[in-house]
Amino acid sequence: MPAFDLPLKELEQYRPEPEEPVDFDEFWRATLKEAGQTDPVVSVRPVRTGLRLTETWDVTFRGFAGDPVRAWYSLPHSRLRSSGGTPMTGVREPLPAVVEYAGYGRGRGLPHERLTWVNAGYAHLLMDNRGQGDQYGCGGDTPDPHAGAPGGPGPAVRGLLAPQDYHYRRLITDAVRAVATVRALPGVDGSRVAAVGNSQGGGLALAVAGLVPDLAAALITAPLLCGIRRALDLTDTSPYGEITAYLSVHRGAEQAAHHSLAYMEGISFARRAQAPAHFGVGLRDAVCPPSGAYAAFNRYGELAAEDPRKEIHAYPYNGHEGGDAVHVRRQLDWLAEEFSPERA
């Protein structure tokens, strides 16, 4: 894919004016208040994985509307007194935690698929994506019981015509509840929780940074749902392409769709974020155009009482894969420094 967005020098200065609904904050305050009326954790069950250095539990927690959401919770085996125990009894000392969000169309998969963060010594919670999991990977286990509102069949357009019905209202609420869940699990230092994600997962991590004021860190790569209006003009690649395809058939629905999308805009969440942040972006990314990531980065934390620490890494010749394993290594080094005793 050739470079198609703004030149890097312009991206570094790109700060579009936010297009926020006047009730943006109230919308999310009411949504999260309703979701937070019950304890998040429903069940925690140990699972056999065949791994000797990691212990994993199948977690169910209450997400949007109290719906059951699945997740994998993993701890380094070296931090447990006995193999096969529950996290209630075996943990020696609380660990910082990473809550990870998966990409569009992917579910939580199998528990041995994502081991980077637990092998780095963190407690790790990998959230399932409700109503997704059928496009790649090894599937998911969380249905979306609210998928009947007007809109198309794909997650990006489910309930698109009203913000109260939109799929991403539910998924973002699940993502916030995942942080509350990991904090409720023994073995976790609740003051040191990071939100991590790539693509759709990056958009969710950014939303969590804007909605959870005491989040300790956010690692955001190639975020979806950033600069949405511009992205719809720049690319026809899914998931944005699903929205343009829907609007090409449902002529006249643009205003309603843009109204719903405005409540999910990552730039608005970025403005409200307070946690230190680490961004990554491929400058040839035709899935999540880089101007969206830079707009979120450049406005990140601007409404916070103090400017949060932040940095961004650009990969000029890469697309949606961005820095791939090179970037993950940078994330590991950065988060280790953020969670070091010197930062405490």
Q: What confidence tens digit (pLDDT) does each residue in 173-223 have?
A: 999 999 999 999 988 999 999 999 999 999 999 999 999 999 999 999 999
Whole-number pLDDT of residue 102: 96
Pairing of strands 68-76, 123-127: antiparallel
Per-domain boundaries in the chain: 8-147+171-232+265-339
- Token digits of residue 99: 């809550």
**Number of Cβ within a 10 Å radius of residue 66:** 14
**Number of Cβ within a 10 Å radius of residue 9:** 8
Whole-number pLDDT of residue 224: 98
Please return the burial class of 86, using the count of CB atoms within 10 Å of its CB with bins 0-12, 13-18 and 19+.
Answer: middle
d(CA 164, CA 90): 42
Whole-number pLDDT of residue 141: 86
Whole-number pLDDT of residue 82: 43
Q: What is the gyration radius of the CA atoms in the chain, in angstroms? A: 19
Catalytic residue selected from 199, 260, 268, 291? 199
Catalytic residue selected from 128, 285, 291, 327? 285
Whole-number pLDDT of residue 93: 84
Whole-number pLDDT of residue 83: 41
Convert the pLDDT of each residue in 64-93 to its tens digit: 999 999 999 999 986 554 444 455 455 568
Assigned architecture for domain 8-147+171-232+265-339: 3-Layer(aba) Sandwich (3.40)
Q: Which residues in the chain show pLDDT less than 50?
A: 81-85, 88
d(CA 100, CA 320): 18
Catalytic residue selected from 146, 167, 320, 327? 320
Concerning whether 285 is annotated as a catalytic residue, the answer is: yes
Concerning whether 320 is annotated as a catalytic residue, the answer is: yes
Omega of the bond leading into 239 within 30 degrees of 0 (cis): yes
